[in-house]
Amino acid sequence: MQPVYDAIILGAGGAGLMCAGVASRRGRRVLVVDHAEAPGKKILISGGGRCNFTNLGAMPERYISANPHFARSAMSRYTPADFLDLVERHGIAWHEKTLGQLFCDGSARQVVAMLLAEAAEAEIALGQAVTGVTHADGRFRVRHGGRESEAASLVIATGGPSIPKMGATGFAYELARQFGLKVVQPRPALVPLTLADPLFQGLSGVAAPVVARAGGAAFAEAALFTHRGLSGPAILQVSSYWRHGEAVAVDFLPEAPADWLRGVKRARGRVGLRTVLGEVLPGRLADALVERLGVAGELANVADGALAAAEARLRGWAFVPTGTEGYAKAEVTAGGISTAGLSQKTMEARHLPGLYAIGEAVDVTGWLGGYNFQWAWASGVAAGEAV
């Protein structure tokens, strides 16, 4: 006789394990299936091994989705404070690093151990590829690891295709389509951008505080030049809003007062632009920018209009990326299973009772800094309470 469960959860990542814990604690018989040999692999490598497990500023406005309101319900019912309570109940020491980002003092392994302890009553089948899923008579049947299991509820928690070498796949989208859910075109997000301009490629390793803007969003953090283009937190953040063909505008003078260069000209007319920029930017970057600006000689000899134009360009340097470094380097996948077909309260498919989708598989993508795990927890709890 094949084993019968109340819920089968596909994917033992953050969202799937959270869902398994909540559902099994409600007395549901839960099976989690994952093709990886170990659970929570992305948790283990996250936050440099310390897992940036939530963000105190996690509010729906900081998530990207075709329906910006979708995340509101789940996120208001399971907040960063709720996850922090769980972390503290498990005796995990934590600290706030910057911008509301909470990390383990010790290791991300503690978060995985906590989720597994919460889901102790669930059966977790690892190293088992899912070879087929069918639905008939109100039951889902899943073929995995040479057997078939069935349940009234099926939860898709297999994430997105970012970092395929870790076993990430687009399987969630295949399943969603099989069961009539739409998929918003997935794309790499929180990802470095590539540039063709050799002048800037020569700056590999140079970092500077900037404000980066794209697609109506702006982030004041560091940008980092790489041998392929641009990275660093400010760029990763805007990459989620950037669309092919558009420019990313970088303000290299985020701290300077308005009309800065003309002020410097009045106060210290004998200095040149390279010297002035070198006081606020790394030398190699100042060299590259000055070469492009074509402003030579002492500031006293440069017309005010030319200085104003140079400053305007420095405050909104337009880079038109050739692309991104793709899923191989993307921290998350934007797009995914369309929220239009899901209940925002339970994550259940509107047209097919018993089918749920949670976590990164769904078209809800957070900012950098603990936001994506908070969505994984909140959506996992929402489904865990409903299955």
Interface residues toward ligand FDA, by CB under 6 A:
10-16, 34-36, 41-42, 45-47, 51-52, 129-130, 157-159, 162-163, 167-169, 171, 331-332, 359-361, 370-373, 376
Nearer CB in complex with ligand FDA: 203/334: 334
Q: How far is the CB of 44 from ligand FDA (least distance, A)?
A: 10
Whether the CB-CB separation of 34 and 125 falls below 8 Å is answered with yes
Closest approach of ligand FDA to the CB of residue 108, in Å: 8
Which of residues 7 and 10 has its CB atom nearest to ligand FDA in the complex? 10
> Is residue 350 within 8 Å of 339, Cβ to Cβ?
no
Query: What span, in angstroms and rounded, lies between the C-alpha atoms of 218 and 240?
Result: 11
Report the distance separating Cα 303 and Cα 284, nearest Å. 25
Angle at 317 between CA 311 and CA 319, to 5 degrees: 170
Query: How far apart are CB 10 and ligand FDA at their closest, in Å?
Result: 6
Pick between residue 177 and residue 266 the one whose CB is nearest to ligand FDA: 177
* Residue with nearest beta carbon to ligand FDA: 13
C-alpha 331/C-alpha 188 separation (Å) is: 8
Smallest separation (angstroms) from ligand FDA to the CB of 68: 18
CB of 324 or CB of 372, closer to ligand FDA: 372
- Name the token pair of 137: 């008579």
Please name the residue that has the structure tokens 């404000």: 211
Residue 196, Cβ neighbours under 10 Å: how many?
13
Which of 114, 135, 124, 241 lies closest to 188, judged by CA? 241
| Nearest distance, CB of residue 229 and ligand FDA, angstroms | 18
Show the tokens assigned to 238: 């805007």
CA distance 166 to 43: 12
Residue 310 or residue 355: which is nearer to ligand FDA going by CB? 355
Q: Are 142 and 148 in contact (CB under 8 A)?
A: yes
| Of the candidates 386, 335, 378, the residue with the CA atom closest to the CA atom of residue 356 | 386
Residue 72 Cβ vs ligand FDA, minimum distance, rounded to whole Å: 18
Least CB distance to ligand FDA at residue 372 (A): 3
Query: Which two tokens mark 104?
Result: 């383990």
Q: Which is nearer to ligand FDA, 174 or 298 (CB)?
A: 174
In this complex, which beta carbon is closest to ligand FDA, that of residue 32 or of residue 211?
32
CA atoms lying within 13 Å on the CB side of residue 77:
15
**CB-nearer residue toward ligand FDA: 12 or 349:** 12
In the complex with ligand FDA, which residue's Cβ is closer, 27 or 98? 98
Other CB atoms within 10 Å distance of the CB of residue 1: 3
Least distance between ligand FDA and beta carbon 322 (Å) = 23
Least distance to ligand FDA from the beta carbon of 345, Å? Answer: 19
* Nearer to ligand FDA among residue 163 and residue 277 (C-beta): 163
Query: Residues for the chain: how many in total?
Result: 387
**Rounded Cα gap, residues 204 and 190, in angstroms:** 19
In angstroms, give the least distance from the CB of 47 to ligand FDA. 4
Question: Which tokens sit at 17?
Answer: 């394990």
Residue 383's CB: how many other CB atoms inside 10 A?
30
Cross-strand partners of 250: 212, 317
